[in-house]
Amino acid sequence: MNLTLTGVGVSRGIAIGHAYLLAPEQPEINEYVLPKHLVNEEVARFKAALAAAKQQLKSIRNQIPRGTPASIAAFIETHVLMLEDAAFADAPVKLIKTQQCNAEWALQQQRDMLVSVFEAMNDPYLRTRKDDVDHVVNRIQRILANQPAHPLELSDHRLKGAIIVAGDLSPADLLLIEHCGATGFITEGGGPTSHTAILARGLGIPAIVGVAHALRQISHDTLIAIDGQRGEVLTEPDPLSLQRLRAKRREEKRHVVTLARLSKKPSITEDGRVITLRANVELPEDIHTIKRAGAAGIGLYRTEFLFMNRKDSPSEEEQFLAYTQAAKAMKGMPVTIRTLDLGADKTLHNEHWHISSRPPSPLGLRAIRLCLKEPALFRPQLRAILRASVYGQLRMMIPMLSSLQELFQVLEVVEDVKRELKAQGLKYNENIPIGGMIEVPSAALAAEAFARHLDFLSIGTNDLIQYTLATDRIDDAVNYLYDPLHPAVLRLIEMTIKAGHKAGIPVAMCGEMAGDPRYTRLLLGMGLTEFSTPPAMLLEVKSIIQSSRLARLTKMTRKILASYHSGEIAVLIDKINAAEKRGRG
């Protein structure tokens, strides 16, 4: 039957192949009480299953093809480590002994406990880690039930060229999918920040998650086609759709090759305007990618990763080292270190700094508010940034400023830290540029005043949109309201750009909007001359810059800014994009 199903595209690309259904194979879990004399035997059965699970994972790890990024092997390693952790190695054993219950039931109780802990977490990334618990538990339960290994692990030859349809897939499954030559996957569950989605993007496997009832709606062996960018699944596509998708696939392949050639080319519009193109760094590994892509520096270095998933805070020395490394790696190009932006969805798992009795809120003690309240958190970071500033072109950027008073307070602390370093005979760049993120509507409305006291501005659209539209950026119940093209958002962006021009300081944009090719021409037309994009989007944005004529875009954008209707704005943007493409061709 010809159907179109939709989900969330998490890894772009077109895949066409036969559906290979992986029905959930979680065996039924029964509870029973054991006679006392069989308890030790049950413990031994559980331990043997644990050892077998570890063996299976190790053998998968050994099959990882050469040249696979180290981070991918790390996913498997995480599951091996989980099996060795007391949560799996000891806790179920204790339950078997104390409750005299069967191994399956003990493991299930432990699973439920662990999953409830993860589900209670506010950090969306950590919340999805419950998937890892399920993947590990399912593996052990299958072994306890004497079920044959997962079809993926049997390297079924029918997997070659197939598209996997599953309830959920673990990162280990995904490696096997790649090993068996499957070309894509769709799952009923999962989210864009799950390990499996991250891995699919890293491996370049087209993938769609969250396709409701996929296992019921797609039959085994039928031909399906998936578009990982649009999040679209076509079952038994007609010849015309197939032709269209194949053409799109060819086009995408050509596009990737063409883009790679742009890394050494300048970022300049057709009519000669140089546009600064930098990248966002979320993890230290990103620095290699952005250097390869030819970024003109780091426009946003998120320092939160240094503080996450640990019990203590990184010392001044550890931070100094990280910032120095970034400064040196970028060889004299600007490296914009953003001071700590914790709070809201980025909570610290560090009891020491959990200072608010309220649940974290995007409107609460977040980012610079938290730093100003906690000098013992803020000052070591400022010292580290200042000390590292002599090793390259480091800049400091303050997130979530909402009032001038707050900015003055920050500037005072920075001056005080400088005096302290001077007194200690430690070197720093006296003139380190200090910039502010404009991501709260009050800051955008007062951008002119901020611009008079700062060296640069950077528009954080992720938050600017959330705060302007009162739409929590991580709440999927309201994400239909999250609209970068909302006229109010566009006006605030425009005000900020103009304020920077008036004060004669640079204005960049580092929110996701800067890396979305649909908006590049609009932003150019609005006068934006500095973009900081996610590493993977840099060349895509550069290619659009190179094929744009600023003079024409400026004129076309005026119409957009005069409109109060997102729908109309979206149509006009499509027109701008199409017109420029035609102009190029």
Closest approach of ligand PEP to the CB of residue 304, in Å: 7
Rounded CA-CA distance 297/280 in Å is 9
Closest approach of Mg ion to the CB of residue 71, in Å: 25
* 46 and 108 Cβ atoms separated by less than 8 Å: no
500 binds ligand PEP (CB under 6 A): no
Task: Name which of Mg ion, ligand PEP, none residue 132 binds, using a CB cut-off of 5 to 8 Å depending on partner kind.
Answer: none
Rounded CA-CA distance 474/345 in Å is 8
Binding segment for ligand PEP (CB under 6 A), chosen from 86-94, 158-166, 351-359, 458-466, is 458-466
Instruction: Report the SS3 class of residue 435.
Output: strand
Q: Draw the binding track, 322-361, toward ligand PEP (x: CB under 6 A; -: no contact).
A: -------------------x--------------------
Q: Applying CB under 6 A, which of residues 199, 510, 523, 544 lies at the interface with ligand PEP?
A: 510
Only one residue has tokens 């299976």, namely 56
Instruction: Report the SS3 class of residue 453.
Output: helix
What separation in angstroms does the CA of 72 have from each of 167, 201, 288?
22, 11, 16
Task: Point out which residues pair with 33 in neighbouring strands.
Answer: 101
Closest approach of Mg ion to the CB of residue 20, in Å: 41
* 521 and 576 Cβ atoms separated by less than 8 Å: yes
Note the Cα 157 to chain centre separation in Å. 34
Closest approach of ligand PEP to the CB of residue 574, in Å: 24
Of the residues 195, 371, 453, 486, which is catalytic?
A: 195
Using a 10 angstrom Cβ sphere, with 0-12 exposed, 13-18 middle and 19 or more buried, the burial of residue 539 is buried
286-305: contacts with ligand PEP (CB under 6 A): 300, 302
Task: Name which of Mg ion, ligand PEP, none residue 218 binds, using a CB cut-off of 5 to 8 Å depending on partner kind.
Answer: none
Q: Applying CB under 5 A, which of residues 171, 206, 460, 535 lies at the interface with Mg ion?
A: 460
463 binds ligand PEP (CB under 6 A): yes
Q: Applying CB under 6 A, which of residues 324, 389, 461, 543 lies at the interface with ligand PEP?
A: 461
486 as an active site residue: the answer is: no
Binding segment for ligand PEP (CB under 6 A), chosen from 11-19, 111-119, 131-139, 454-462, is 454-462
Angle at 517 between CA 515 and CA 520, to 5 degrees: 85
Residue 178 or 463 having the CB closest to ligand PEP: 463
Binding segment for ligand PEP (CB under 6 A), chosen from 77-85, 309-317, 456-464, 495-503, is 456-464
195 as an active site residue: the answer is: yes
Q: Applying CB under 6 A, which of residues 439, 483, 530, 580 lies at the interface with ligand PEP?
A: 439
512 binds Mg ion (CB under 5 A): no
Closest approach of Mg ion to the CB of residue 460, in Å: 4
Residue 282 or 568 having the CB closest to ligand PEP: 282
Rounded CA-CA distance 454/436 in Å is 7
Strands 3-6 and 276-281: unpaired
Closest approach of ligand PEP to the CB of residue 531, in Å: 12
Using a 10 angstrom Cβ sphere, with 0-12 exposed, 13-18 middle and 19 or more buried, the burial of residue 408 is exposed
472 binds Mg ion (CB under 5 A): no
Only one residue has tokens 């890394």, namely 263
Which candidate, 416, 409, 392, places its Cα nearest to that of 301?
392
314 binds Mg ion (CB under 5 A): no
Rounded CA-CA distance 427/57 in Å is 50
- Binding residues for ligand PEP, how many (CB under 6 A)? 10
463 binds Mg ion (CB under 5 A): yes
Residue 139 or 486 having the CB closest to Mg ion: 486
Note the Cα 577 to chain centre separation in Å. 26
Q: Applying CB under 6 A, which of residues 151, 334, 511, 534 lies at the interface with ligand PEP?
A: 511
Q: In what order do the strands lie in the sheet with 232-235?
A: 3-6, 232-235, 223-227, 14-22, 163-166, 184-187, 207-209, 8-11
Q: Applying CB under 6 A, which of residues 190, 460, 515, 534 lies at the interface with ligand PEP?
A: 460
Strands 298-302 and 334-338: parallel
* 270 and 281 Cβ atoms separated by less than 8 Å: no
Residues 6+ apart with CB under 8 A from 497: 459, 507, 526, 527, 528
Q: Draw the binding track, 87-116, toward ligand PEP (x: CB under 6 A; -: no contact).
A: ------------------------------
Residue 166 or 510 having the CB closest to Mg ion: 510
Residue 132 or 463 having the CB closest to ligand PEP: 463
* 153 and 217 Cβ atoms separated by less than 8 Å: no
Angle at 49 between CA 48 and CA 54, to 5 degrees: 100
381-440: contacts with Mg ion (CB under 5 A): 439
Closest approach of ligand PEP to the CB of residue 282, in Å: 8
Give me the residue whose beta carbon is nearest to Mg ion: 463
Half-sphere exposure of 304 (CA within 13 A, CB side): 19
Closest approach of Mg ion to the CB of residue 134, in Å: 31
**Active site amino acids:** 195, 510
- Please report, as ranges, the residues that interact with Mg ion according to CB under 5 A: 439, 460, 463
Q: Which positions lie near ligand PEP, rule CB under 6 A?
A: 300, 302, 341, 439, 460-463, 510-511
